[in-house]
A = this chain, B = another copy of it.
């Protein structure tokens, strides 16, 4: 798909060695200068103007309005991390002052978070800006103090190249180490493997398929010195349609979910691919209203031919599984890479027996599991473990009738949505975008929001360190006025 040359093993070696040297130089640059760097990347991306949007639209088939929104999210994320660096408390500074009279004497110990080293980022096909070249993984890794090597996604390589060049301008303007950010092209598993297994690589960020993300995890675990891999690998995002809500809100629920299932042609990792409900009149009304909405949807092109072909195959395969019945497929004609939004149903009993039905169908497809009872609904829900999100559509009565739902939700997903759709991931400190395996390879971290930075750092502590050698965040006079845990109490005070 890409007209760029596949990176060679020799080049990967050079790139990673340069990345390690740049990382060491970047350590000596102040947080404020790093913040300016991130902001300048945002400005340079904006300076590309419509040319960038047009290029991305050509490569991804995504409409300009969506791409403009995604660009805003991308530059917003860069500025969010810049603000985080300027404020400074993100390093989780902790100070325990000495107690010389203690037996044995208690030393002075001070801790903060430091960068891991060169991070390799794999661009995502479905987010050419926000989860690709200068996306969340890159922004958080650069903020952490890491150097970054991005492997451009081959489906939007020219877009990636443009963003890379914008970052190069920002590097030059803010006098950063020239190789603090590097960019390679490639579509083979071999180049991905070589990047992950290079001695200088300290961590990996990936957003995409289970196959790709799990392969990178396995390559990293097979290293002589294993490194952390954060792969965000998608999800079917189970949605509970609870009885009282279905009875009262069937039509509005159907409209809300039809829009969520078909948003961006379903090409979001938070797409609601699984709806679960107990049979009832309310559910029948929901099915009818959802059918009407799906019928009306206008097909649009998918991201690229590979995704389009995979959608058609997986969707058709799912429909031929025993016990699966089509509810509705948009009857519009399609051309090129357009996809038909599709909803199907199956009984809870059959769903529980067939693990194929638990797999993600990436695109505008959703499977409704019709259960005989709330007990079966909960069993179906529990069987879909390891999700980015799970949603509960319920009234106060529903939640009062079924008080244990929240505990199950917590065991399944990283984000629990109440009376809302899972699509639309707010970028804010409280967001969790990640979840138990296979939603992600490490549920202890989020890929969205400022705490995404925690994937790329480790704590280091200094025992009896002379003041003048300490990082600025740990010095007695707290020049940045950051929050610190001082003798186990949070404070912004100086130490006298």
Contact = CB atoms under 8 A, between A and B. Distances in A.
Contact of A96 (B399, B414, B430, B485): B430
A464 interface: yes
Contacts of A221: 217-218, 221, 226
A381 B111 CA distance: 22
Contacts of A451: 94, 459
Given A410-B460, A429-B485, 6 more contacts: A27-B407, A94-B451, A109-B426, A218-B221, A415-B462, A432-B459
A111 B431 contact: yes
A5 interface: no
Interface string A466-496: 1011000000000000010100101000000
B416 A462 contact: yes
A414 B463 contact: no
Q: Assembly of this chain: how many copies? A: 2
Contact of A488 (B419, B424, B429): B429
Contacts of A434: 458-459
Interface in A428-473: 428-432, 434, 436-438, 441-446, 450-451, 454, 457-466, 468-469
B431 A109 contact: yes
A399 B466 contact: yes
Nearest to A24: B407
Given A410-B114, A483-B490, A490-B490, A465 B430 contact: no
A104 interface: yes
A331 to B, nearest CB: 30
Given A109-B426, A226-B221, A443 B466 contact: no
Interface of A: 24, 27-28, 89, 94-96, 104, 106-107, 109-111, 114, 116-117, 217-218, 221, 225-228, 386, 396, 399, 406-407, 410-411, 413-420, 424, 426, 428-432, 434, 436-438, 441-446, 450-451, 454, 457-466, 468-469, 483, 485, 488, 490
Nearest to A214: B226
A381 to B, nearest CB: 15
Task: Please list the 5 inter-chain residue pairs (A to B) with the smallest Cβ-Cβ separation, ordered nearest first.
Answer: A221-B221, A432-B461, A111-B430, A96-B428, A94-B430
A218 B429 CA distance: 33
A210 to B, nearest CB: 12
B106 A426 contact: yes
A204 to B, nearest CB: 14
Contacts of A399: 466, 468-469
Contacts of A464: 417-420
A386 B226 CA distance: 12
Nearest to A217: B226
B24 A462 contact: no
